[in-house]
Structure 1
Amino acid sequence: MAHTTDWGEALFTIYHDNAEPLQIPVAGRDRWALECLIAAGRKGCTPIDRPGPRWSAYVFNLRGLGFDIETVHEAHDGPFKGTHGRYVLRSRVQRANGAEAA
């Protein structure tokens, strides 16, 4: 993923089966999260490998815009055993500059 300090609005296109493509502007931390998800591909992202203060909120916002994002619950060990979410972008998305995820 390209490093940027400008997280202003960027245009993304969602391609749905049997429907017209949908163009969505995304900015700020929501854009950062979407670009992390695109870069991660089928592997997805967790707040562990891509630290961010409010991953669940970014995913909630992106889902509200029409992006299909799956949450896979995974166990983790360590002093604070438990589970965490792995977020996987299931929508086929293309950024205006051509970066694509399936």
Structure 2
Amino acid sequence: MAETSNWGTAPYTLYLPNQTQSYIAVSGRDRWALEALIAAGEKGCTPIDTPGPRWSGYVFNLRRLGVAIETVTEAHDGPFAGTHARYVLRSRVTRSQGQAA
């Protein structure tokens, strides 16, 4: 993931399944999460391996912009056994110089 302390608005190109492109602008923690998902590739991100205070909120916001993100439920052991989410980017997204909508 890109190392930065400036999470201002950045443009991205979103490649849609129908072979068209969309331009989105993302900032703040939503941008941080999108860049983490891009960097993780098929492995995806969990709040355990990529800590962030509101992963579900970031994913919700990105989905509203049209970004396809799969939620995979995984079991974990330990004294507080249960499940957690793994988020996997299913859209092709790149940083762009394009115009954000």
Query: What is the TM-score of this pair, normalised by structure 2?
Result: 0.92
SS of the residue aligned with 1:2? coil
1:55-74 equivalences under 5 Å are 55-74=55-74
CA-to-aligned-CA distance 1:42-100 (integer Å, 9 cap, x gap):
11000000000000000000000100000000000111100000000000111127xxx
Aligned equivalents of 1:64, 1:2: Cα separation in 2: 23
Displacement of 1:19: 4.2
SS of the residue aligned with 1:39? helix
Number of equivalences: 97
* Letter of the 1:37 counterpart: L
Aligned equivalents of 2:58, 2:78: Cα separation in 1: 26
State the percentage of identical aligned residues.
70
Residue 46 (structure 2) pairs with residue 46 (structure 1): yes
Aligned equivalents of 1:77, 1:6: Cα separation in 2: 36
Query: What is the TM-score of this pair, normalised by structure 1?
Result: 0.91
Aligned equivalents of 1:35, 1:19: Cα separation in 2: 22
- State the 4+ residue runs in structure 1 displaced beyond 4 angstroms: none
Displacement of 1:17: 2.5
Structure 2: gaps spanning 5 or more residues: none
Highest RCO, 1 vs 2 (Cα 8 Å, sep ≥ 6):
2
Match of 1:14 in 2: 14
Match of 1:82 in 2: 82
Preserved CA contact (<8 Å) 2:2 2:35:
no
